[in-house]
Amino acid sequence: MKNTILALLLSLPLFAGAQSNFAPAGSEWYHSQQYGVYHSYYTGDTLIANTSCRKVLREALTKDPWYSQGLHVYDLPAIYLYNNTDTVFIYNKIFGRFTPLYVFNVNDGDTIHLPVIPVDIGMLLFPYPDSTFRMVVDSVRNELYDTTVLKTVFVHGIGDPDSVYVYNYGPGYAERIGGLGTGFLPTGSPAAIPLSDNLQPAGPIRCYNDPSTSIKLTQDICGIPPVGIAALSNKEKFSISPNPVHDILKLERAAAAGNISITNAIGQCVYNRQCSATVTQINLTGFAPGVYYLHLDGGTVRKFIKE
């Protein structure tokens, strides 16, 4: 008889201080979406629910021709993660605490029983504090991703006698990478799904990088392709760092003169000046945290986040 892994108690942060290797500093992910790519990246350590964890931002990159036609896919909410030796936990807004996201100490045929996880697009119907879902482990294997071998758990969701929820992780999840087919989070049903092209679910993993690992699973570039040579040229001539930024934003570009402006998320201009240097430092100390856009002459724009 196969085991049932009841992971409800694992939601308690008993191992928050353990050595971690999921979402380390410098890690980034690229996931497909219908109109481009989601670029996710580690932005720092923080404290949530008295637990030390890692913050990962998830930025939508909309490719042309849709972007030029006015379609801008919305970013996905930030997620907060930590892990022990065999489980990755996520801060779960339904329960107000961390609950398991990826469980690795399982065997072929095991059934995993977990607290429900919020979905990226829409909302679950009828979630209660004891809502759960189940999935069956099809196999546990060491799989080759590009040039890196990672432990991978292949699963499929099943109904639960005590719950209406069925979750789908795509084919499963892997060390370092996380979800293979649905971004970081599984899709769940029943759920209310808003009908808007601006809201897109994350799809299969395209690329993953951290200081010790580089995985490329697409023939294309990891992010969105530039539109023609001019777009590539503009990108090479204009860079900002760091991003996210706390106080001083550094701008580097080939042209020494031109206008610089910054707009906030609703389009209001909050900064405007002429610049005569190729390297410029912009003091953002008085800016409220949030999403901003830096504009140069000629229409080139870069998005950045003020923390």
Our count of domains for the chain comes to: 2
Residue 275, number of CB atoms within 10 A of its CB = 18
Give me the amino acid identity at 120: D
b or e along 47-80 (b: 16 or more beta carbons within 10 Å of the residue's beta carbon)?
A: ebeebebbbbbbbbbbbbeebeeebebebbeebb
CB neighbours of 48 closer than 8 A, spacing ≥ 6?
Answer: 80, 91, 98
CB neighbours of 107 closer than 8 A, spacing ≥ 6?
Answer: 2, 3, 137, 140
Question: Per residue in 185-205, pLDDT tens?
Answer: 998 887 666 667 888 889 999
Tell me the CATH number at 274: 2.60.40.10
Residue 222 lies in a domain: no
Structural domain span for residue 155? 4-216
In whole angstroms, how far apart are CA 210 and each of 22, 98, 179, 252?
A: 10, 24, 16, 24
Give the pLDDT of residue 266: 63
The last residue of one of the domains, among 194, 216, 238, is 216
> Does residue 254 or residue 19 have the better pLDDT?
254
pTM (2 decimals)?
0.70
> Does residue 123 or residue 242 have the better pLDDT?
242
Q: Are residues 248 and 299 part of one domain? A: yes
Average pLDDT on 31-56 reads 92
Give the pLDDT of residue 229: 34
Residue 57 lies in a domain: yes
Question: What SS3 state is found at 72?
Answer: coil
The residues that bridge with 223 in the sheet, in sequence order, are none
CA distance 204 to 226: 21
Q: Are residues 284 and 182 part of one domain? A: no
Average pLDDT on 116-120 reads 87
Q: Are residues 197 and 154 part of one domain? A: yes
Q: Are residues 45 and 80 part of one domain? A: yes
The last residue of one of the domains, among 216, 248, 268, is 216
Lowest mean pLDDT, pick from 33-37, 56-60, 88-92, 118-122: 118-122
Question: What SS3 state is found at 298?
Answer: coil
Question: Per residue in 45-99, pLDDT tens?
Answer: 999 989 999 999 999 988 878 877 778 888 999 999 999 999 999 999 989 999 9
Q: Are residues 235 and 173 part of one domain? A: no
pLDDT above 80: residue 299: no
Question: Per residue in 228-268, pLDDT tens?
Answer: 333 434 443 567 778 888 888 888 776 666 788 888 766 77
Mean pLDDT of the chain: 82
Give the pLDDT of residue 26: 87
